[in-house]
Amino acid sequence: MDITSPLWYVAYITVLIGLAGYGSHRLTIIFLYLKHVSKKPVPLQNFEELPLVTIQLPVFNEMHVVDRLLDSVAKIDYPQDKLQIQLLDDSTDDTVQICREGIARLVEQGFDAEHIHRTDRTGYKAGALENGTQFAKGEYLFILDADFVPNSDVLKKTIHYFSDDKIGMIQTRWGHLNRTFNVLTRIQAMFLDGHLELEQTARNRSGRFFTFNGTAGIWRKSCIADAGGWEHDTLTEDMDLSYRAQLKGWRFIFLNDVETPAELPVDMDGFKSQQHRWTKGSIQVCKKVLPAIWKSKVPLFVKMEATAHLTSNFAYLLLICLCFLIYPNQHAQPDFGKLTYYIINIPIFFFASVSVILFYLTSQKALRPNTWWKEIPYLPLLLALGIGMSITNAKAVLEALFNHQTAFIRTPKYGIEQKNSDWKKSSYKAIKTLTPFVEFLFGCFFLFVVVEAAMQGRWSSAILLLPFPVGFYYTSISSMARMLPTLSRPDLTKTPAANSSDSQ
């Protein structure tokens, strides 16, 4: 037996144990969710007189969705004299004029609405919010990204929770306007449902920290100030502020029964840029606030959950390591006997893979009790997409670890709700990189690994490894297809600045 065989195997098992650890955390979340989901929060009391609310709308080059956003905000069922609307516009294209005209319409309707346009984009979204908060008249700030369409009763369902002076933020659950638009949007919806329905509910109702999702939530202005205000040294200013505020003693509430719909990215490049930003930002916040969390006097179970949350994206580094260890392990695995093999591998497989399936099935059953089973066919693709995204997200983790600074990359939004949308004509496109070609090479390699395993009669290995080539081919080919020139289809806008990448 080659002396290197045990080394390969130990490295392989170590990586799998790490992935299984994060998988076991998902099972913990399921347990906490099922245990605490019935503990629905209730307001301490109702306000006798509704308070003034400032609605903050940070946008950057969002010409396809700004009008839809403003129209939906104008329909919110709340006394008009108790609303202030701030359109925090950092745009450099025709969106600026659309914003001006939209705000003028709201003013004509009697709204206290203001268009605040910055030409200096310091701090990106965090900078825009920081700037707008200086002029906010309301103590409560309802933040909505450009692709959200709030329901008319959202403020009536949320504002009374602030009757408790200790409540600093209220987060609503995201809905999905274009959930069934294509396969990618269906899988994204499942990813987000797992996070929002299970993780956020479980953390909040079990007394653990949870975080503002960047939009569709309401902040108490004095809470933001007490926590140190919006800071823009990370790409996820929402997560950063959330932890700082809760460490100051502020309490948050997550309302899983109040839905605020939004548009999901419909193309792979947009999804990748969004995931890269979220992944990198979470590691930046991890480096920034985790030491303070462990030095604080919060209970141990809160510290442990915060650690699991903030370090969860390190799983992508483990996944990349696994990619390099699978093939050597198959050819140099020590023979410890079948019993030992199954004793070691079955628990690891359960915690690393089956836990993920149970996690997302639980979220779908909770949100769609009568139709959850229709999502089962998409679970293999969900696993495959998670693998395919490992290169993009592992790169994001490394950039954060080594302090590599990048701009706030926007996620293009097209105002898509119907399948016949002409979104591909838009000049808004995600930034192009060489990552798809690397993903394609990984796909070719794992296709070889799967075919070799099948030819050697190792069918269980071939089946278990099949998500690897599928995932890498899916993420790579989807991106490559968008790199091809769009022929005989004019752009919706000719504005060169519309392609700018450093937005919110």
What's the sign of the alpha-carbon dihedral 23, 25, 29, 34?
positive
For residue 29, give both structure tokens. 């979340």
Catalytic residue at 89? no
Domain coordinates of the chain in residue numbers?
50-267+295-303
**Which candidate, 41, 45, 49, 39, places its Cα nearest to that of 160?**
45
**From the candidates 93, 238, 240, 269, which is the catalytic residue?**
238
Give every residue of the chain whose pLDDT is below 50, as ranges. 1, 418, 420, 487-504
Question: How many other C-beta atoms can be found within 10 angstroms of the C-beta atom of residue 390?
Answer: 24
Q: What is the pLDDT of residue 495?
A: 38
Q: What is the pLDDT of residue 335?
A: 66
Place of tokens 């939209």: 102
> How many Å apart are CA 130 and CA 135, to the nearest integer?
10
Q: In a 3-state reduction of DSSP, which class is residue 81? A: helix
Q: Give the largest CA-CA distance in the chain.
A: 82
- Please, which residues have CB within 8 angstroms of residue 484's CB and are 6 or more apart in sequence? none
Q: What is the pLDDT of residue 414?
A: 77
Q: What is the pLDDT of residue 165?
A: 97
Integer distance in angstroms from the first to the last C-alpha of the chain? 55
Q: Give strand ranges (E) for 23-126.
A: 53-59, 83-89, 112-117
Catalytic residue at 145? no
DSSP state string for 254-294: EEEEEEEEEPPP-SHHHHHHHHHHHHHHHHHHHHHHHHHHH
> How many Å apart are CA 202 and CA 35, to the nearest integer?
8
**From the candidates 89, 90, 93, 193, which is the catalytic residue?**
90
Single pTM value for the model:
0.90
Q: What is the pLDDT of residue 351?
A: 73
Q: Give strand ranges (E) for 198-347.
A: 217-220, 251-262
Question: How many other C-beta atoms can be found within 10 angstroms of the C-beta atom of residue 74?
Answer: 17
The CATH number, out of the four listed (3.20.20.140, 3.40.50.620, 3.90.550.10, 3.40.50.150), of the domain defined by the range 50-267+295-303? 3.90.550.10
